[in-house]
Chain A
Amino acid sequence: MSDSDLTATINVTRPITAGRMLPMTDTSALTGAETTEPTEHPVVFDVDDLSVYYGSHLAVRNVDMQIRQHEITAFIGPSGCGKTTALRCFNRMNDLIEIARVEGKVRYHGVDLYDPKVNPVEVRRRIGMVFQKPNPFPKSIYDNVAYGPRIAGQKKGLDDVVEQSLRRAAIWDEVKDRLKSSALGLSGGQQQRLCIARAVACNPEVILMDEPCSALDPIATTRIEDLMKELASDYTIVIVTHNMQQAARVSDRTAFFVTEVNETSDNRTGLLVEFDYTDKMFSNPSDERTENYITGRFG
């Protein structure tokens, strides 16, 4: 049983960090033998040398990482270091910015997302997004959640989809009696959970979250963090957060970005410094910059 035969599944050319065992899938079904290595979730996103330009300005460069199914992966780092830019590559939201240009590869289940034949609309049906500031439509709660299914062509069974999505987002009990009332009447925390329900209703595989709690109070934040952990069993979650304690609380793996400043041009470019299991990164980071950030020496 050689590892090379399994390269389609595992990318072994990119070791995660020193001091950890090489990941393998559970091969017990095939060999019948007991394995003692830890089970790794399959790779969903394989990012290979990703760089993003806004016009001539290099916003983030040379990102290499793998996002795994049913895990919560957090992007942390000081502001302006390209976390959100990188995140938005996963669902081709950067397409909406005219001067944005993506180089490198973002593979989703092996398919290059930026292949010219790929339809970004289809990509976003499978990879949903929750934004920094809750952005419910000025419609009823029901219509907000039903929006995704409706535009996908679903006409029947919307009531069920709406209820399930609101339950999944842990907000059903609070709104079940006022589904027809305006979504704008909800509090900030409720609106954000509504946005999560809205994303869930599209039945995506992945949910991207761009600083979902930064506009919310601590209590609402805790509720959403709990929600994230529940959602991870059904979805793959990637979250950008400027709150590293949040990353420590919530995520399985963490990616730490920094900003490097070009001395001559004063341009700032984001850069992935370290990517590892969260508990490892926070207890024993490999890179000095990571350690400085985590211990608060800069931010």
Chain B
Amino acid sequence: MSNLTVDDLRGDAGRQRTEKVVHVVLWLAGIFSVLISAAIVLSLFREAWTFVSQVDWSTVIGPDAEGWFPRRGQYGVMTLIVGSLVVTVIAMVIAVPTGLATAIYLSEYAPPKVRRVLKPAIEVLAGIPSVVIGFFALTFIAPEIIQNVWSASPQQTLMAAGVGVGVMIIPIVASISEDAMASVPNALREASYGMGARKITTVVRVVLPAAVSGLIAALIIAVSRAMGETMVVFIAAGSAGGSLFNTNPLEPGLTMTAAMASLAAGTDAVVGEGLTFQSLFFVGLVLFTITMTLNLIADRFVRRVRQKY
């Protein structure tokens, strides 16, 4: 009979101490992200609350709110939201067909050698900083393309910005859509081919419908990114000082993001009368709410994809 006691199986105290310390440190790291979210919300709320409680709401919403001229006390936020929407719609028109087609091709058609070249190339496009796209939109897209088609338009337009943002989000649409299609089990494709379906039939009638949750998630995330994009619009759409309510894409315009950048840019950061400073935070809060809602909805769809398979 051996003399084994509980004490023998207790383990080395030193190792256990390390383990505990590590656990705490890692836990702190994990919690840190919650801290960041709290900090974002706090930063926005503090000054936005001042704005919300002190502003004359007729300058923000309603028939008298003519536009966004914050330094003059005009806080027509719908101007900015509509501006963001116009840019987003144009961007989606460019990015969705291109991105989706790219994803379908890479996922279902491309031979491995071709894929090895094309996929990194799309990733390169994803890595291009937004300032670069903004400058490209201003100096190339606007003169060469937009002014060629619509000769009367100025150089800085929502259209130019929209095309630029569209180019920026092609890789996002492509990447998320491709993931969605890759998660469709091959067994479904085999079932379709086994019944004598052609490739296009299999892709259109089996793979795409099966991947639809992921494709919707891709769209929503793309919309969210398009709305949150700042530099392309800031450089290519003009209207730094302010803008009247405008839905014409062939005019300069302001989005929520560019308005915020305009308020902050300038030699003395944010300066102006009345609530100019706070208006920056107000718009930020609106933008944050919109993008977070979109992201949460998209998350639901991504979750649905994972559940299915």
Contact = CB atoms under 8 A, between A and B. Distances in A.
A121 B201 CA distance: 11
Given A135-B190, A151-B205, A198 B195 contact: yes
Interface string A106-123: 000000000000000111
Given A96-B190, A135-B191, A147-B205, A121 B197 contact: yes
Interface stretch (A24-32, A52-60, A125-133, A262-270): A125-133
Given A96-B193, A151-B197, A199-B195, A135 B188 contact: yes
Contact of A124 (B188, B195, B210, B308): B195
A122 B197 CA distance: 9
B183 interface: no
Contacts of A137: 188, 191-192, 206, 209-210
A125 B196 contact: yes
A202 interface: yes
Contacts of A190: none
Interface in A137-196: 137-139, 147-148, 151-152, 195
A138 B195 contact: no
Contacts of A199: 194-195
Nearest to B194: A129
B20 interface: no
B196 A135 contact: no
Interface in B205-241: 205-206, 209-210
B196 A124 contact: yes
Given A137-B188, A138-B308, A151-B201, A131 B194 contact: yes
Nearest to A201: B195
B200 to A, nearest CB: 10
B129 interface: no
B193 A124 contact: yes
B187 A151 contact: no
B198 interface: yes
Nearest to B201: A151
Nearest to B212: A138
A186 to B, nearest CB: 15
B185 interface: yes
Given A125-B196, A128-B195, A135 B206 contact: no
A44 interface: no
B210 to A, nearest CB: 5
Interface residues of A, number: 27
Contacts of B195: 124-125, 128, 147-148, 151, 198-199, 202
A147 B112 CA distance: 30
A137 B192 CA distance: 9
A128 B191 CA distance: 9
Residue in A91, A147, A195 whose Cβ sees the most chain B Cβ within 10 Å: A147
A273 interface: no
A144 to B, nearest CB: 9
Interface string B284-309: 00000000000000000000000010
A93 B187 contact: no
Contacts of B196: 121-126, 148, 151-152, 202
Chain B facing A: main interface SS: helix
A141 to B, nearest CB: 14
A93 B209 CA distance: 23
A135 B186 CA distance: 9
Nearest to B211: A138
A133 B188 CA distance: 11
A187 B10 CA distance: 49
Nearest to A125: B196
Contacts of A139: 209
A125 B192 CA distance: 11
Contact of B185 (A91, A135, A195): A135
Contacts of A136: 191
Nearest to B206: A137
A93 B201 CA distance: 16
A93 B190 contact: yes
A129 B196 CA distance: 10
Residue in A91, A151, A202 whose Cβ sees the most chain B Cβ within 10 Å: A151
Contacts of A152: 196
Interface string A38-51: 00000000000000
Interface in A2-16: none
Contact of B209 (A98, A125, A129, A138): A138
A135 B190 CA distance: 9
B205 A124 contact: no
Contacts of B193: 93, 96, 124
A93 B210 CA distance: 22
4 closest Cβ pairs, A-B complex: A125-B196, A135-B187, A124-B196, A129-B194
24 contacts: A93-B193, A96-B193, A121-B198, A124-B194, A125-B195, A125-B196, A128-B194, A133-B187, A135-B185, A136-B191, A137-B192, A137-B206, A137-B209, A137-B210, A138-B188, A138-B209, A138-B210, A138-B308, A139-B209, A147-B195, A147-B205, A151-B195, A199-B194, A199-B195
Given A128-B195, A129-B194, A135-B191, 18 more contacts: A91-B194, A121-B196, A124-B194, A131-B194, A135-B185, A135-B188, A135-B190, A137-B206, A138-B188, A147-B192, A147-B197, A151-B197, A152-B196, A195-B191, A198-B191, A199-B194, A202-B195, A202-B196
